[in-house]
Amino acid sequence: MGLKIALLSRDNGVGLSLDTALLTELFESAGHEVEFHDWQAKEMPRTDVAFHLELVSRNLAQFADKNIAILNLEWYPREWMKYLPAFDQIWAKSHYALRFCRNRGGKNVQLTGFLGTDLYDPDVKRELKCMHLRGRSGMKGTEQIIGAWQKDSTLPPLTIISKDEVHIPAGLEDRITVVLSPSDEERNRLMNEAEIHVCPSIAEGWGHYITEAMSVGAIVVTTDASPMNEHIRPEWGYLVGVTSTRNHHQAILTYTSPTLIAEAVRRAAALTPERREQIGKAARARFLKRNAEFKEVALRLVER
């Protein structure tokens, strides 16, 4: 008989977060029952395991045999820091989160990583072009990327996928295309098509876009800071240096420069097609390995 697992959700009508959806699929496929609860609800049922993802509910915690936190520190409120020692387990997506939670009284803090979504489509022809998935986030380094294309007219064509309008400076319209809120099918086609994905994130809780880019076998250019550099190594991508930092909630925001981004993209574009394909395959292999490792660890920690 499976466990009863509770996940907190925001009752905002936008559907499940990606983290919640991925955990639900994992636990239900292992035979467990997953329930969702509004984090502000006053009454909660008894449950075997309660997951607090970004949100914390004292009401839910009281009726759970085991309470597990998975935190995105760039959004974790300072006033909730006092709850860290009370969790039975804390799953750290990154080494930074591991150190942070242990240094603030967290008990049984495990470096688990997390799951990514596999978007690989072998039927899409790969091309020497660049992709940047902004969504509606202001922490993806979009401005620095546009600055890189301003500095270097030799960079390959760039597609930016966004949920909001993105200002493209005059003179770049022929080299940068903005696609607003495409269908999932169109987004996935564009992601598989581009051989180079530019993801110089300022902060990430996990880095879903980075892992999705790895899943399609792309060369990833990202920031040399945690957790971004925990996904990418020189064997399967390019890291760009940090030029400045600032604090934000419990995270450190890390900024790179247009010059460094342009340099990394130039190096990736200068590779032979065969070498780009080889690096992309290494990135995909790394993605598949880490997904399998998380599934094994997550089920073991929940079921033991």
- pLDDT tens-digit readout, 115-138: 999 999 999 999 999 999 999 898
Helix (H) or strand (E) holding 36, with range, is strand 33-38
- Quick one: pLDDT at residue 16? 65
User: Look-up: residue for tokens 């597609």?
Assistant: 159
Residue 217 lies in a domain: yes
CATH number at residue 271: 3.40.50.2000
The total of structural domains in the chain comes to: 2
pTM confidence score: 0.93
Could you tell me if 146 and 273 lie in one domain? yes
Residue type, 162: S
Asked whether 140 and 201 are in contact (CB, 8 A), the reply is yes
SS3 125: coil
Instruction: Give the Cα separation of 68 and 191 in Å (integer).
Output: 33
Could you tell me if 178 and 270 lie in one domain? yes
Could you tell me if 134 and 264 lie in one domain? yes
Q: Profile the chain (304 residues) by mean pLDDT over runs of 10 residues.
A: 86 65 96 89 90 87 94 80 93 93 92 96 98 94 97 98 96 97 97 98 93 98 95 94 90 94 98 97 97 97 92
Residue 20 lies in a domain: yes
Could you tell me if 70 and 167 lie in one domain? no
What six digits make up the tokens of 87? 């969790």
- Quick one: pLDDT at residue 261? 98
- Quick one: pLDDT at residue 194? 98
Instruction: Pick the last residue of a domain from 82, 111, 140.
Output: 111
- Domain residues for the domain of 43 are 4-111
- Quick one: pLDDT at residue 76? 77
Could you tell me if 228 and 282 lie in one domain? yes
Could you tell me if 53 and 159 lie in one domain? no
CATH number at residue 95: 3.40.50
